[in-house]
Amino acid sequence: MKQGKNIAITFFLTLLCVSVAFAQGVEEYQQYHQEGRELAKEKKYKEAIASFSKAIEIMPYYTAIHLDRGATRLQVGDFEGAIEDLDYVAERQPYKKEVFFLRGIALYHIGEYEQSQSDINTYLVDYPSNQEAKAYKKKLNQYFTARQQEIDAQNAQLAAQQSQERAYRNARTTEVVLGTVVPLAIWTALVLSW
């Protein structure tokens, strides 16, 4: 009985210590997260990213920090880092459409135009009046139109080249027939007629 009581007391004390440590971690996480947000508002992006990273070390599973750090990484041109953070959020909270917009911008800047277009379009379904998203969609449409025109021009050039090659082969065949086969046939007919 006494041993059971000791186990219960030990369990309770362990649970209490874990709870206190967790609460301290939450408080520390919130401090770094808030500090990061304030630094980002002041356009001190590198310092903000450092604060968000400290908050993520403490609470790595909170998507809000990843979203804030991803948006801030986007501001400093760390597009791959932004995509990494935004992928984390999109996998866990796909209903947060802002993630798709931000990730679409980052994807655009690294040349992943098809994925970018998909993310921007996903965002525009819920926020069709967002001017910045519309501007990116327009840029993407222009890219795809120009790319299609390039492909069409290459196909036309290839078709013209193939047509020239066919014409050359036909001319060469005619040349061989008229220069070799016809004279041979005439000489054969003359030899056989003597």
pLDDT in tens, 93-142: 999 999 999 999 999 999 999 999 999 999 999 999 999 999 999 999 99
User: pLDDT (tens digit, 9 = 90+) per residue, 150-186?
Assistant: 887 888 788 778 878 887 887 777 776 666 766 766 7
**Residue by residue, what is the 3-state secondary structure of the chain?**
CHHHHHHHHHHHHHHHHHHHHHHHHHHHHHHHHHHHHHHHHCCCHHHHHHHHHHHHHHCCCCHHHHHHHHHHHHHCCCHHHHHHHHHHHHHHCCCCHHHHHHHHHHHHHCCCHHHHHHHHHHHHHHCCCCHHHHHHHHHHHHHHHHHHHHHHHHHHHHHHHHHHHHHHHHHHHHHHHHHHHHHHHHHHHHHHHC
Q: pLDDT: is 188 or 47 the higher one?
A: 47
